[in-house]
Amino acid sequence: MANDKNPIAQQDPELWKAFVAEQDRQQNTLELIASENHVSPAVMAAAGSLFTNKYAEGYPGRRYYGGCENMDTVERLAIDRAKSLFNCEHVNVQPHSGSQANQAVLLAAMNPGSQFGEAEQREKAPDAPVRTPGDMILSLHLDHGGHLSHGKNVNISGKWFRVTHYRVDRETGRINMSEVRALAKECKPKLIITGASAYSRIWEWDKFAEIAREVGALLMADIAHIAGMVAVGLHPSPVAVSDFVTTTTHKTLRGPRGGITMCKEAWAKKIDSAVFPGLQGGPLMHSIAAKAAAFGEALRPEFKAYQQLVLDNAKALAESLVAKGLHLVSGGTDNHLMLVDLRKGYPSVTGAMAEAWLGQAGIVVNKNMIPYDERKPMETSGLRIGTPALSTRGMGGDEMRKVAGLIDRALASAGDANALGKIRGEVLDLCKQFPLHTH
């Protein structure tokens, strides 16, 4: 990508500088952010293509603009491939992001209102008129691995709906299904949301479906992080037992930034009108072309081998970190990510300090709240670490063991610039051995 013949280099040197710097950063650092990946050259080409020029409001065969015949071809390909990949009855490939894929479900299935019940409204503002309480969502708490779009009070999902959260068990770090059942019986949710951004264990979709049936709730699975593993059968699929399944396309699925919303046929019309015209205008056709390209890749046997490598690498990395004396929430991982609990092992190091030190060493991770964290969200006591991006570079078990050692040394450095500089050199060597071929 970054070569001097690029039109951006020719016409906008100021902007081009950032492209060159970013290519250098991606090529020469170890990307361990669990939600990130490197797309293939084909997906990259589709994302930066002439499909960006076209308006295509509506759906294949029913557009509000002329000249959409090639848009229809591309969107139908994306739809058909997503259906084969996930075995779903209906899919909408237009959501611009994972959050919007989730909003489509809320708009299609839920009645908005006050985020508080009547009694709580009276207590908070005795003189204000009581508003209709919004429908209830039951979802995983953000600090326990959930996502903003699952009912956080600063997000539209938490402002327009009432929310109850289930949590992970303090001892095991795993979701306690009997607590989920008890909460569901108590709060009577309209919608139960499963899925997470920082949960390293297998989801028991069948048990959630049973609980949803018991309390008459709809069930939604947000597989944003684990979609790649679900697609190839290396994580159980929630599709058969859920009313809705949403995902981002840019995490383990290794496609362009974006989302999709899947649902049972009975919800197809409502989901489609929720995405357009409910939430969005024209679809990002270049992104949908890139989704089609990525889904095509995901249907090939090599993609299953890649997902297996992601899993094997996560296991190897987790075991090596534990062997170095680090503690992981729930003790390990069944998927592509792990959460380091710094309180044990490095009690004086916050997630923010760890993120900064590792960054100086060329190891990119994100600080993360851990369950029952006493520190604030800008500090945290945790680090979230994932293997999708390093696996895309072709790294394996030996490299994971090396990376675990580098991480542990960076945490033990107390921020010493010399120690971090030495690690940075070793990171560069590793990156040179496993160059990115994706841009």
> Interaction with ligand PLP in 16-75: which residues (CB under 6 A)?
35
Q: Is 387 a catalytic residue?
A: no
SS3 content of the chain, % helix, strand, coil (to 5): 50, 15, 40
Min CB(98)–ligand PLP separation in Å: 3
Residue 296 interacting with ligand PLP (CB under 6 A): no
Among 114, 194, 248, 366, binds ligand PLP (CB under 6 A): 248
Give me the catalytic one of 251, 343, 393, 424.
251
Min CB(328)–ligand PLP separation in Å: 19
Residue 195 interacting with ligand PLP (CB under 6 A): yes
Q: What CA–CA distances, in Å, run from 389 to 29, 34, 203, 325, 438?
A: 11, 8, 23, 25, 11
Q: Is 194 a catalytic residue?
A: no
The token pair that represents 348 in the structure block: 């004086």
Min CB(271)–ligand PLP separation in Å: 16
Closest-CA residue to 252 (of 338, 336, 340, 149): 336
Q: Is 57 a catalytic residue?
A: yes
Q: Which is nearer to ligand PLP, 149 or 387 (CB)?
A: 149
The token pair that represents 119 in the structure block: 């009694």
Q: Which is nearer to ligand PLP, 261 or 413 (CB)?
A: 261
> Interaction with ligand PLP in 109-168: which residues (CB under 6 A)?
147, 149
Give me the catalytic one of 57, 89, 204, 312.
57
Give me the catalytic one of 55, 83, 89, 210.
55
Give the separation between CA 63 and CA 41, rounded to whole angstroms: 30
Residue 350 interacting with ligand PLP (CB under 6 A): no
Give me the catalytic one of 246, 248, 252, 387.
248
Please give the full DSSP string across 361-393, using - where no structure is assigned: TTEE-EEE--TT--S-TTT-SEEEEE-HHHHHT
Min CB(382)–ligand PLP separation in Å: 15
Closest-CA residue to 254 (of 19, 84, 85): 85
Residue 330 interacting with ligand PLP (CB under 6 A): no
Min CB(194)–ligand PLP separation in Å: 10
Q: Is 248 a catalytic residue?
A: yes
Residues paired with 363 in a beta bridge = 30
| Pairing of β 162-166 and β 136-140 | parallel
Residue 99 interacting with ligand PLP (CB under 6 A): yes
Closest-CA residue to 64 (of 262, 276, 259): 276
**Cβ atoms of residues 150 and 144 within 8 Å:** no
Interface residues with ligand PLP (CB under 6 A) are: 35, 97-99, 147, 149, 195-197, 222, 224-225, 248, 259
Instruction: Catalogue the active-site residues.
Output: 55, 57, 222, 248, 251, 257
